[in-house]
Amino acid sequence: MTQTHAKTDAATALIDGLVRAARSAQTALGSSSFATRQKALHEAAKIIRARTNDILASNQKDLAAAAQSGLTEAFIDRLTLTESRIEEMAVGLETIAAQPDPIGAELARWQRPNGLDITRQSTPLGVIGVIYESRPNVTVDAAGLCVLAGNAVILRGGSDSQHSASLLAEAMVEGLQAAGLPGAAVQIVNTTDRAAVGAMLAAVGGIDVIIPRGGKSLVERVQRDARVPVFAHLEGICHLYIDKDADPDKAKAITLNAKMRRTGICGAAETLLVHQQVAGDMLPAIAAELQQAGCVLRGDSAARRLVPDMQIAEDDDWRTEYLDAILSVRVVDSIDMAITHIATYGSGHTESIITEADDAAENFLQRVDSAIVMRNASTQFADGGEFGMGAEIGIATGRLHARGPVGAAQLTSFKYVVRGDGQIRS
């Protein structure tokens, strides 16, 4: 193994670890209240103010090292922190916290002739990688914006600012913790190894977007390893969850349709989750109808106690897109267990809850992080035509630009048109 390979492997392992922690932290951050996210920024601002002297001292270390490296005056200026620059960072966090909540907003809403009500609702982007130069203040600005929008962030600053940037990142982490949020939502890449940038770009599915923040040479270095983005879904492991307050007739009809209408399409249900309070009443009848329609069932032990002729579901079954007349079936203790199952085994495509209880429905619709979440409807409606978008080129499960059905309107970008009458900037 060459030196370069060893470095690349080390960088990949480092980034993999950060990504795992970030994704887990993002799940909690993304479903936290706006007030909690605001509190995290206010607490971080307080901590930064309280530690002004420590931050200045660590910045002195960075500046001393930079002076020895013979860097330009402009570079030194950007690296330098002063009391007023530290105060600006704290005020910056408070200004970000004063913005309206960017997540949970209703971006569009329409009704279909069959009565389905469809909302497009803003959600966090996920995990954001920020690659920047030796400007310690970017640590705070970038992390503040990411956290407000419910995103975890992996920061990779210039090596000449490592002492000050680490201390500032630490303040952001403690701000999160003071608000009861996981500190791993803000992490800093503690290596000067340039292979870390390549490892971040390679973390497809782990990091959702990379933002290089700096001059042309930084952006060029990042873009050199970049590739054209992809709209796709790898698989559609769609879940149907029958809640304790499900209507039995809807549960049966929707399960049959979601699994058996067409088994080979990505919106077909692959796993049925049933709340234990209603499994005894509902599962045997639903299973009988499925089996009569030619569906093979594979259940966990609780499901097999109710329907003894089910096959045994192995762990792999929960991860399998059958695209065939096979359904895995699990009895769950609670809606939380259903949501956790979906987060663990799902592919982020389409999931549906069957329930008459509004609070359970909203809980599920808000917390399940898939491109399409449904209540009392068949997962087979996951289709551009059924959404009223016209033809579609596919379904995307990524979080960038197009998510869900990709029709003509999703194959567009936008520009900002600014009309003035002579305005100049002061």
| Interface with a second copy, residue 226, by CB under 8 A | yes
Binding part of the chain for a second copy, among 187-195, 228-236, 308-316, 330-338 by CB under 8 A, reads 228-236
339 or 406, CB closer to a second copy? Answer: 406
56 or 128, CB closer to a second copy? Answer: 128
| Interface with a second copy, residue 297, by CB under 8 A | no
| Interface with a second copy, residue 407, by CB under 8 A | yes
| Interface with a second copy, residue 377, by CB under 8 A | yes
Binding part of the chain for a second copy, among 81-89, 162-170, 255-263, 291-299 by CB under 8 A, reads 255-263
Helix (H, G, I), strand (E, B) or coil at 277: helix
| Interface with a second copy, residue 201, by CB under 8 A | yes
| Interface with a second copy, residue 376, by CB under 8 A | yes
| Interface with a second copy, residue 272, by CB under 8 A | no
19 or 329, CB closer to a second copy? Answer: 19
| Interface with a second copy, residue 365, by CB under 8 A | yes
| Interface with a second copy, residue 117, by CB under 8 A | yes
- Give the list of residues 6+ apart from residue 221 with CB closer than 8 angstroms, or none: 197, 212
- Give the list of residues 6+ apart from residue 141 with CB closer than 8 angstroms, or none: 89, 92
| Interface with a second copy, residue 17, by CB under 8 A | no
- Give the list of residues 6+ apart from residue 419 with CB closer than 8 angstroms, or none: none
- Within residues 321-340, the interface with a second copy by CB under 8 A covers 321
Which residue in this structure is represented by tokens 């808000």? 366
Helix (H, G, I), strand (E, B) or coil at 286: helix
| Interface with a second copy, residue 289, by CB under 8 A | no
Closest distance to a second copy from the beta carbon of 371 (Å): 6
Binding part of the chain for a second copy, among 140-148, 276-284, 293-301, 312-320 by CB under 8 A, reads 140-148
Dump the DSSP string for 14-68.
HHHHHHHHHHHHHHHHHTS-HHHHHHHHHHHHHHHHHTHHHHHHHHHHHHHHHHH
Of 213, 194, 195, 209, which is closest to residue 132 (Cα–Cα)?
Answer: 213
| Interface with a second copy, residue 158, by CB under 8 A | no
Of 239, 186, 178, which is closest to residue 379 (Cα–Cα)?
Answer: 239
The residue within the footprint of a second copy, chosen from 90, 125, 273, 297 (CB under 8 A), is: 125
Is residue 48 within 8 Å of residue 170, measured between CB atoms? Answer: no
The residue within the footprint of a second copy, chosen from 148, 152, 165, 195 (CB under 8 A), is: 148
| Interface with a second copy, residue 113, by CB under 8 A | no
**Angstrom distance (rounded) from CA 375 to CA 171:** 41
Binding part of the chain for a second copy, among 46-54, 80-88, 277-285, 395-403 by CB under 8 A, reads 395-403
Q: Show the binding pattern over residues 69-98: x = contacts a second copy (CB under 8 A), - = does not.
A: -----------------------x--xx--
Residue 29 has which token pair? 């951050």
Q: Which residues pair with 131 in a beta bridge?
A: 156, 212
Rounded to 5 degrees, what are φ and ψ at 70? 65, 45
Residue 172 has which token pair? 């952001």
| Interface with a second copy, residue 310, by CB under 8 A | no
Binding part of the chain for a second copy, among 5-13, 125-133, 171-179, 180-188 by CB under 8 A, reads 125-133
| Interface with a second copy, residue 303, by CB under 8 A | no
The residue within the footprint of a second copy, chosen from 119, 192, 334, 340 (CB under 8 A), is: 119
Is residue 18 within 8 Å of residue 154, measured between CB atoms? Answer: yes
Strands 296-299 and 326-332, bridge-based pairing: parallel
Binding part of the chain for a second copy, among 167-175, 218-226, 280-288, 308-316 by CB under 8 A, reads 218-226
CA angle 162, 164, 168 (to 5 degrees): 110
Residue 340 has which token pair? 């956790």
The residue within the footprint of a second copy, chosen from 20, 57, 67, 220 (CB under 8 A), is: 220
**Angstrom distance (rounded) from CA 287 to CA 296:** 9
The residue within the footprint of a second copy, chosen from 28, 202, 296, 343 (CB under 8 A), is: 202
Residues across the chain: 426
The residue within the footprint of a second copy, chosen from 230, 292, 308, 316 (CB under 8 A), is: 230
Which residue in this structure is represented by tokens 């909203």? 362
